[in-house]
Chains A and B, each alone.
Chain A
Amino acid sequence: QGSLDMKEVYLSISLKEASLPEVFSEIKSKTDFSFIYDKKVFNKTRAVNIKANGQSLESILVDLAKAHGLRFKQVDDKISVRLVEEKESPPIIIADVTVTGTVVDSEGNPIPGVTVSVPGTSIGTATDLDGKYSLTVPEESTLIYSFIGFESQEREVGDQSIINITLEEDMSSLDEVVVIGFGTQKRVNVTGAISTVDMDQLENAPVTNSSQLLQGVQGVYVNQAGGQPGRDGATIRIRGQGTLNNNNALVLVNGIEFPLSEVNPNDIESISVLKDAASAAIYGSRAANGVILVTTKSGSKDKFQLRYNMYAGFQKVNYLPDVIKDPVQFMELRNQAMINGGRLIVDYPQTMIDEYREGMKTDPYTYPNNDWFDIMFNAAPIQEHNLQFSGGSENLTYSLSLGYLNQEGVMMGSGSDRYSLAFNSTAQISKRLKIGTNINAIYRNIDEPVAGVQNLMGSILKAQAFHPTYLEDGRYANTFVRSTGHNIFRHPIVLATEGENQTTQQRYLINLFAEYELPFDITYKVNIGVNKSDDFNTTFVPDIFIYQNKTDAATRVPFNGDAMSVSQQNRGTRKTYTGNINTTVFNTLNWSHDFNETHHINSLLGISSESFSNNVFWGQNEGFLGNDLYELNAGSSNPAVSSTSASSRLNSYFGRIGYNFKEKYLFEANFRYDGSSRFAKDSRWGLFPSFSAGWRLDRENFLANIPWISDLKLRASWGRLGIERIGLFRYLNLINLGQDYAFGTNISAGAAVTSYNDPNITWETTTISNVGVDAGFFENRVGLEVDIFKKRTTDILRAVNLPSQVGNLNGPIQNIGTVDNTGFELGLNYRNNFNDFNYQINGSVTRIINEVIDLKGQTIYNGRNIITEGQSIDSYYLIHAIGIFQSQEEIDNSPFQTADTKPGYLKYQDTNEDGFITEDDRIISGSVIPEYTYQFSLNLGYKGFEVNAFFQGVANINTYASLIAAQPFWFGTAVTKEWTTDAWTPENTDARLPILTTFESSVNENFRPSDFWLRDASYLRMKNLQIGYNIPSVFTSKYGVSNLKVYLNGQNLLTFSKMKDFDPEKNINGVNFYEYPTVKMYTAGLNVTF
């Protein structure tokens, strides 16, 4: 069934001074076409002259259209006519045609479910089970045939009515290139364990810190503790915790060491995570914790693009403890806790409680009932804008982007702004010479409470409902209720809003490179990088008074905490400058050559030199006249200054040789030879080699006939890495200055040895063996990636404790032992579609067993944690609670704790059966390292709609709950509601918690370190949920917009965990149970590309 074609119909016609309807009826009489038009409109057009002699109908109509501003549209044998509106594109003729056809694969098998669509419209269909389709489209349109696992094809419809398509299998995923050390490599030829971050998936998540981008990468554990604006960098662990020292991965941005958190996530083009030794060995002595390679966005040669991304929304506190907020109930409970703990008189007399209860009814200033969580935590706005210009020509590409992030904190008094700039450009100067530059810069402003967020968090948790905010006249108020133990009211509003604690951070990464092609396929490359950071902090401690709500007596609010002046409590200013400048120069020679398309050799030799230097300077002054001026110049007394500096250097030689046979058998070897100033002369240099091999089974003939295997590769690697990151000069025995003392009014400079050092220390060596499989099945609709690895760190460096009798010195850092991280990673993904509905599921799980293998028989104790052979690093080592004492008789018949033990108190296990509960009864109780980390994501798409959800979880990890609010009435402060329902009483003997006591009254009984307070911090969290819509380009193209997407995003919306009283995604080893809370974030945004 074909339609009539105006090009194929020829006719002769001659009319003068006719009306258009006359013309149309004349044509109708001579052809099979009829016209549809509005007579009222076209009768007015009279002066039509037409003369045709055997021309095609089409050309006749085109002439008519041009002469009279008409537009014709053919549908089968009907032609509609209308007048061209103003500004409309020149009149043309569009025909709707119906296209049919069959889609097959390269072997002629029909492919069902192939999407056939016209880009920029909603016109589309999918092939049936026989691969057949039928679609009516405007003439001259373009059809796109797409199906997962196959390369999409575009076809001009033209005048065709039957279009049969053969789709080629999608080789693009095979051609995908990943960034590796000092180069790139085709993913299919990678023999090491490398993961990449799917930047597309993260495109619209409100990622405020680039470290959060690594969430979801197989084998990587990302712990995002706290949502403080400007200080929300996540902890990243690649394949567990291999060292007792710095476990942070080496991060290189465009080849230069630079902190990940200092790059705007929007400027990142790709991130590669090098997990095994084969991939990382080229970075030698710093690579044992893994290497993260970040490449920033650059322009492309042929198109100019302007992109604008923005989102805005708000954040809400995710978790806060469920504390008792009623003032009367608090006082009564505290009295009860005191009595339970052995006190015979209580702090809150009944008269006071009665007075308070009555007073609350009438006088909210003296008898407030404040909810300090409500006062101090509020929904906080966030917005981010990014603008990128990019483009290029044959010889020059460039990209310039600007970013702005404004984030207020959910905690009063915290907030941050970030401005960023990135510029990348490369120029092909001549056929052989290419030069380029990458510049990344960040300017960040962080506002924090003077005393620091930790201190404010503590003060908020300490504040009770009876602590007032303001007096009636607006002055800050103090309570008349004496809260023994916490008698100094650190007014949270004062701490949050008064004074100044502002940090400005500037970071620059400037990188210049040149590449020159020498003869014989040799390329020389030189790269010079400067990584500069400047931090400037101003802290001003003001004099602020609070006035008691009964007596009006004034008290000065102490601002002691993280940031304070030297004399700690005087009004004063301190300005601190911290600067780092690190330089890197590396030179590489690269030679790669193909022999007969069979033998491919790729080799690299390089030399690099890096220097790191750090400067700190501060000055301070006191004696200010008020709280308004606080420059150092405005102060008059007790000026003080200080400065210090440090530097280190790393010189290296490195190389790589890779060989593959027909891309079937792959081999690679790397080496690095590093010399570090951090070690003494004789132990300064270290050699780090690696070897790897791969076998692409899918290229073997015996697998070629198995249709469901699309991709199969085995790979194995072995290599050695080092860790040099210990404190500077730990090989020298040093005399510390600053041990000063005053004789009368003279300060005398003092000096002393404060730590003991070992001159023989050298590298930790990490040896990683890795075996992996990469596979794709069913046209790569199913993907599988498995890695099994063993990471052994020997000569592990650790500060060894000395008994204090050796001058009470900090122990030396020594090479003391061996730790293994053994584990596997399993990643699976599945993608498919159902007509227009496509979906993708990705998931991965990593299991790591951390075990201390050898400590030369030593045991290292570190508070509640232990490092001992056969256990994981820093395992909890605690006495074991086995229940609650029910009676004095039971106490008398049990191993002795202390003279204070009472019914309702915790009962501990006498592990060594000596009749006493002592530290010798401790047992291994839990781990600070998660055994399992897992993640999965779901992506659904229907036409322009997308829904993405990302989940992350950890399992088998513990955290210890101590201090404020975790233990009841800690120093007279908060108590959680569970103590009113779940605590032991003579009536409720089957309780979960022991009897309610104040922390201090049973500090050596219920609250001595025991596994009772250990929490299971496993969780599964929906980190991100996004709903997006790509607005069809038919609506946007007339505005010059090629792509417009709008979306809604939610972060941390759901959490599943046994831990209810605080966010399990916290600083696991933190001293405080509570820290700056994580947030739920709700944002809406759009992406526009011009």
Chain B
Amino acid sequence: CSEDVLEINPTDQYSIDTFWETEEHANAGLTGCYQVLRSTFGSLFETDMVTPNAWGYNENGGLGPLARGVQLTTDPALAGKWNVSYSGIGRANTFLNNIDDVNMNEDLKKRMIGEAKFLRALYYFQLINYFGDVPLILETPDAELHSDLPRDPKVLVVTQILKDLEEASNVLPIIYEDKDTGRATKGAAISLKSRLLLYEENWPAAAEAAKEVIDLNVYSLFPNYRELFMIENENNEEVIFNVEFLAPRFTNNYDQSIYILNTPAPLKDLVDSYLMIDGLSIQESPLYDSSMPYENRDPRLHQSIACIGYPFNGKITELSDVVNTGFGMKKFTSFSDEISNIVPPNTELNPIVMRYAETLLTYAEAQNEAVGPDQSVYDALNLLRSRTSVNMPEVQSGLSKEEMRELIRLERRIELAFEGLYYSDIRRWRTAEVVNNGPIYNYEGNVITNRTFNKDRDYLWPVPFVQIQENPELTQNPGYN
């Protein structure tokens, strides 16, 4: 009898033996896969601080040193990316391994498998994007089997991601009912595929995938670029996939970081890259007046960046508001220009992981590389420039492929500033060794500090030191030993 009293079961946890039986269990297991998104994409904009777009004052967790080219294998921010991606992968693998035995509606089950595969693909994509080769694991986490697996070639992981996305896009719906807002859609799966193919420089396939998204005919540009990112317009027609936050339980501190701490702080290099309203650069345009440098600029400048002397959060911005560089971010805050909000609460803003504008830019870039600047390339770019609140002149016709490449790269930098993509762009374009090497400037053109970029090392992040410590089968990326 004393044996019975010593048998005590937990009151708020399921044992692995009693789980994976009902549709509720399956739902909860899949939700657990989504939950990781809040960590992986929690600060989407942070990698822009490792580019000429922005500077982070106190980012000593890893991104600050990374921007200066003095990162260590132990820097926690870099390790965090590895760890949290494998959290998502482990959960998706567990779901996919167990879902078959759950007794539930088969159509729903198929859809849920598609969602899990999309998420697994997204997490693996994060890994290969920063670390290159990584261990490819597709089963429920098992210490015996998986602890000492070495890194698999990136190409193998790419193949698996494409397979997952293919299978996901075959079963995922194009849209959901309201109660399922934020779940992975067919469009999300294909968009991620197009991004991966673009990064892999598989130009025709990338263009084809982007075209496939365009042809779904469910996405269109939101008319107002500034408001596209505001809480009241979440999940608008331009959003393909975002991370869902919901106050009070799930919030982020973007307002505090961006507005109070001025981090990331936009750099002069980015501000100077915005064209004039005549479509010319500040060097070329007669409209540019260096005494009023922020006048007559691509409207996206003031829709993305707070400049001294211009309104933001209900006041005229002063140096003390944007002290780090003389510029502040507007994108991803919950503040409008006109109304002052003195309380910086944690916000529930959903960071947008993929949106239609990126699809158009992916199409333009891939199509230009694959076949050259045909009309469809111009159409995609002009569609962006003709967004109601942007209304920039159409792209000058007759550009060479190389000219078009430069134009697309600039358009991409402007349109997608602070959305966590530019760091990947300058690495895949192999321009980081140029643009991330040398001084960075504040609004007055004074050098803040110098950055270095080691082209033999810094295109990939180090495999976190602790991982190699725990699994000596893992090899380190070049230059980090």
Interface set of A (CB-CB < 8 Å, partner B) = 342-345, 347, 480, 482, 484-485, 487-488, 543, 545, 553-556, 558, 565-570, 609, 622, 638, 640, 644-649, 651, 675-677, 681, 684, 728-729, 732-737, 739-753, 756, 801-809, 811-812, 859, 861, 898-900, 914, 916, 918-919, 971-972, 999-1000, 1003-1005, 1008
Contacts and interface: CB of A to CB of B under 8 A. Distances in A.
Contact of B31 (A648, A736, A748, A861): A748
A736 B447 contact: no
B182 to A, nearest CB: 5
A733 B93 CA distance: 16
A808 B94 contact: no
Contacts of B140: 807
A647 B447 CA distance: 62
Given A487-B260, A570-B345, A729-B10, A808 B87 contact: yes
14 contacts: A487-B261, A558-B256, A648-B8, A649-B5, A677-B8, A681-B3, A729-B9, A752-B94, A756-B143, A801-B466, A805-B146, A806-B86, A808-B84, A861-B466
A344 B55 CA distance: 14
The bracket for how many chain B residues form the interface is 35 or more
Interface string B246-264: 1111110000100011100
B160 interface: no
A744 B90 CA distance: 25
A783 to B, nearest CB: 46
Interface string B70-102: 111111000000111011011101100000000
Contacts of B3: 675, 681, 684
A802 B16 contact: no
Contacts of A569: 344-346
B407 interface: no
Contact of B11 (A342, A622, A645): A645
A911 to B, nearest CB: 14
Task: Indicate the member of A347, A802, A972 with the most B CB atoms within 10 Å.
Answer: A802
In order of increasing CB-CB distance, the 10 nearest A-B pairs are A807-B90, A807-B141, A744-B181, A567-B248, A750-B31, A752-B32, A742-B246, A898-B70, A751-B28, A808-B87
Task: Indicate the member of B31, B69, B469 with the most A CB atoms within 10 Å.
Answer: B31
A369 B9 CA distance: 60
A343 B57 contact: no
Contact of A737 (B28, B235, B261): B28
B284 interface: no
* Secondary structure type dominating chain A contacts: loop
Nearest to B144: A806
Interface string B32-70: 111101100000000000000000011110001100111
Contacts of A808: 83-84, 86-87, 90
Given A807-B86, A916-B481, A1000 B64 contact: yes
B443 to A, nearest CB: 11
B27 interface: yes
B199 interface: no
B215 interface: no
Contacts of A741: 31-32, 34-35, 37-38, 244, 250
A948 B251 CA distance: 58
Given A733-B16, A804-B86, 5 more contacts: A555-B342, A649-B8, A749-B28, A750-B31, A804-B82
Contacts of A555: 260, 342
B446 interface: yes
B269 to A, nearest CB: 15
A959 B374 CA distance: 67
Contact of B65 (A737, A745, A1003): A1003
Interface of B: 2-3, 5-16, 19, 24-25, 27-29, 31-35, 37-38, 57-60, 64-65, 68-75, 82-84, 86-87, 89-91, 93-94, 134-135, 137, 140-143, 146-147, 149, 178-183, 235, 244-251, 256, 260-262, 320, 323-324, 342-346, 439, 442, 446-450, 452, 454, 464-467, 469-471, 474, 480-481
Contact of A556 (B250, B344, B442): B344
Given A487-B262, A732-B15, A999-B60, A803 B35 contact: no
Contacts of A748: 27-28, 31
B260 to A, nearest CB: 6
Contacts of B13: 729, 734-737
Nearest to A679: B6
Contact of B467 (A805, A898, A900): A805
Contacts of B480: 918
A734 B16 contact: yes
Given A566-B249, A807-B86, A753 B94 contact: yes
B343 A556 contact: yes
Contacts of B469: 859, 861, 919
B10 A646 contact: yes
Given A484-B57, A568-B346, A677-B6, A744 B251 contact: no
Given A488-B256, A747-B246, A753 B84 contact: no
Given A570-B248, A741-B31, A743-B182, A651 B57 contact: no
A565 B251 CA distance: 12
A742 B181 CA distance: 9
A345 B8 CA distance: 63
A744 B248 contact: no
A638 B246 CA distance: 11
B119 to A, nearest CB: 11
B214 to A, nearest CB: 25
A756 B75 CA distance: 25
A345 B323 contact: no
Nearest to B84: A808
Nearest to A650: B6
B74 A919 contact: yes
A640 B11 contact: no
A812 B141 CA distance: 13
Given A566-B248, A647-B8, A742-B246, A345 B2 contact: no
A740 B7 contact: no
B11 A644 contact: yes
A810 to B, nearest CB: 11
A485 B58 CA distance: 6
Given A734-B13, A740-B249, A744-B180, A1008 B72 contact: yes
Given A555-B342, A743-B183, A919-B73, A751 B449 contact: no
B32 A739 contact: yes
Contact of A684 (B6, B143, B446): B6
B276 to A, nearest CB: 28
A344 B83 contact: no
Contacts of A918: 72-73, 480-481
A971 B141 contact: no
Nearest to B342: A554
A319 B345 CA distance: 36
A752 B91 contact: yes
Nearest to B320: A482
A649 B11 contact: no
Contacts of A971: 58
Nearest to A758: B143
Contacts of A553: 342
A623 to B, nearest CB: 10
A742 B15 CA distance: 25
B69 A899 contact: yes
Contacts of B141: 753, 756, 806-807, 809
A805 B11 contact: no
Contacts of B261: 487-488
B400 to A, nearest CB: 37
Contacts of A543: 343
Task: Indicate the member of A558, A568, A753, A806 with the most B CB atoms within 10 Å.
Answer: A806
A803 B467 contact: yes
B137 to A, nearest CB: 6
A677 B7 contact: yes
Given A487-B261, A806-B90, A734 B15 contact: yes
A919 B465 contact: yes
B345 A567 contact: yes
